[in-house]
Chain A
Amino acid sequence: MPEMTREMLQARRANAKKALAGQKKQILICAGTGCIAGGSLKIYDYMKEECARRGLCVHVNLMEEEGECSCGDNSVSMKKSGCHGFCEMGPLMQIEPEGILYTHVKLEDCDEIIEKSILGDEVIERLLYTLDGVAYAKHDEIPFYHKQHRVVLANCGTTDAEDLNEYLARDGYVAFEKALFDMTDEEICKEIMDSGLRGRGGGGFPAGRKWDSVRKQPKGKKYVVCNGDEGDPGAFMDRSIMEGNPHSVIEGMLIAACAAGSDEGYIYVRAEYPLAVTRLKVAIAKAEQAGLLGDNILGSGFSFHLHVNRGAGAFVCGEGSALTASIEGNRGMPRVKPPRTVEHGLWAQPTVLNNVETFSAVPLIVRNGADWFKSIGTEGTPGTKAFALTGNVVNTGLIEVPMGTTLREVIFNIGGGIKDGKKFKAVQIGGPSGGCLTEEHLDMPMDFDSLKKVGAMIGSGGLVVMDEDTCMVEVARFFMNFTQNESCGKCVPCREGTRRMLEILERIVKNEGTLEDLDLLEELASTITETALCGLGQSACKPVISTLKHFRNEYLAHVVDKHCPHCNGAPKVLKIDPDKCKGCTKCKRNCPMDAITGEVKQVHVIDTEKCIKCGACIKGCPFGAIAEV
Chain B
Amino acid sequence: MANGISMERVEAIIDSYGAQRSNLIAIMQDIQAEYKYLSPQVLEKIAEKLNIGVAKVYSVATFYENFSLEAKGKYIIKVCDGTACHVRKSQPIYNAIREHLKLEGKQKTSADGLFTLETVSCLGACGLAPVVTINDQVHSKMTPEAMVALLEQIEKEEADNA
Q: Contacts A391-B88, A397-B127 given; indicate if A312 touches B65 (C-beta within 8 A).
A: yes
| Nearest B residue to A488, CB-CB | B63
Indicate if B140 sits at the interface (CB-CB under 8 A): yes
- 8 Å CB contacts to A: which residues of B58-107? 59-60, 63-67, 81-84, 86-88
Indicate if A230 sits at the interface (CB-CB under 8 A): yes
Alpha-carbon gap, A87 to B127, bound state (A): 5
Query: Interface size bucket, A side?
Result: 35 or more
**B26 touching A309, Cβ below 8 Å:** yes
Number of A-B contacts (CB under 8 A): 130
State how many angstroms separate the Cβ of A87 from the closest Cβ of chain B.
3
Task: Give the most central of A309, A390, A397, A488: most B CB within 10 Å.
Answer: A390
Taking a contact as CB atoms closer than 8 A, the residue among B21, B81, B125 that contacts A236 in the complex is: B125
Taking a contact as CB atoms closer than 8 A, the residue among A34, A310, A398, A478 that contacts B83 in the complex is: A478
Task: Give the most central of B22, B63, B88, B122: most A CB within 10 Å.
Answer: B122
Alpha-carbon gap, A270 to B125, bound state (A): 13
Task: Give the most central of B65, B66, B121, B139: most A CB within 10 Å.
Answer: B121
Query: Interface size bucket, B side?
Result: 35 or more
Alpha-carbon gap, A309 to B84, bound state (A): 27
Residues of B within 8 A of A232 (CB): 122
Indicate if A388 sits at the interface (CB-CB under 8 A): yes
**A482 touching B127, Cβ below 8 Å:** no
**A231 touching B121, Cβ below 8 Å:** yes
| Nearest A residue to B27, CB-CB | A329
| Nearest A residue to B139, CB-CB | A37
**B26 touching A234, Cβ below 8 Å:** no
- 8 Å CB contacts to B: which residues of A579-613? none
Indicate if B14 sits at the interface (CB-CB under 8 A): no
Interface string of A308-343 (1 = CB under 8 A from B): 011111110000000000111111110000000000
Alpha-carbon gap, A390 to B122, bound state (A): 12
**A332 touching B127, Cβ below 8 Å:** no
| Nearest B residue to A333, CB-CB | B63
Q: Interface stretch among A107-115, A462-470, A509-517, A620-628?
A: A462-470
Q: Contacts A34-B140, A233-B82, A310-B26 given; indicate if A331 touches B124 (C-beta within 8 A).
A: no
Q: Interface stretch among A1-9, A12-20, A271-279, A549-557?
A: A271-279
Alpha-carbon gap, A239 to B122, bound state (A): 12
Residues of B within 8 A of A87 (CB): 125-128
Indicate if A103 sits at the interface (CB-CB under 8 A): no
Alpha-carbon gap, A326 to B81, bound state (A): 24
Alpha-carbon gap, A390 to B87, bound state (A): 9
**A36 touching B138, Cβ below 8 Å:** yes
**A314 touching B121, Cβ below 8 Å:** no
Residues of A within 8 A of B24 (CB): 329
Indicate if B41 sits at the interface (CB-CB under 8 A): no
Taking a contact as CB atoms closer than 8 A, the residue among A234, A310, A314, A397 that contacts B63 in the complex is: A314
Residues of B within 8 A of A330 (CB): 60
**B121 touching A315, Cβ below 8 Å:** yes
**A462 touching B83, Cβ below 8 Å:** yes
Task: Give the most central of B23, B26, B67: most A CB within 10 Å.
Answer: B26
Alpha-carbon gap, A28 to B55, bound state (A): 51
Alpha-carbon gap, A482 to B83, bound state (A): 10
Indicate if A539 sits at the interface (CB-CB under 8 A): no
Residues of B within 8 A of A466 (CB): 87
Binding site for A on B (CB under 8 A): 21-26, 28-29, 59-60, 63-67, 81-84, 86-88, 120-129, 131, 136, 138-140
With A231-B122, A326-B25 given, name 4 new contacts (CB 8 A).
A271-B29, A311-B64, A390-B83, A398-B127
Show 21 residue pairs from A and B whose CB-CB distance is below 8 angstroms, ordered by the A residue.
A87-B127, A230-B124, A232-B122, A233-B122, A234-B82, A271-B29, A271-B66, A273-B124, A311-B64, A314-B65, A331-B60, A331-B63, A332-B63, A332-B64, A390-B126, A391-B87, A392-B88, A397-B127, A464-B83, A466-B87, A482-B121
Q: 10 shortest A-B CB distances, which residue pairs? A: A87-B127, A233-B82, A313-B65, A312-B64, A37-B138, A390-B84, A233-B122, A236-B124, A313-B66, A234-B83
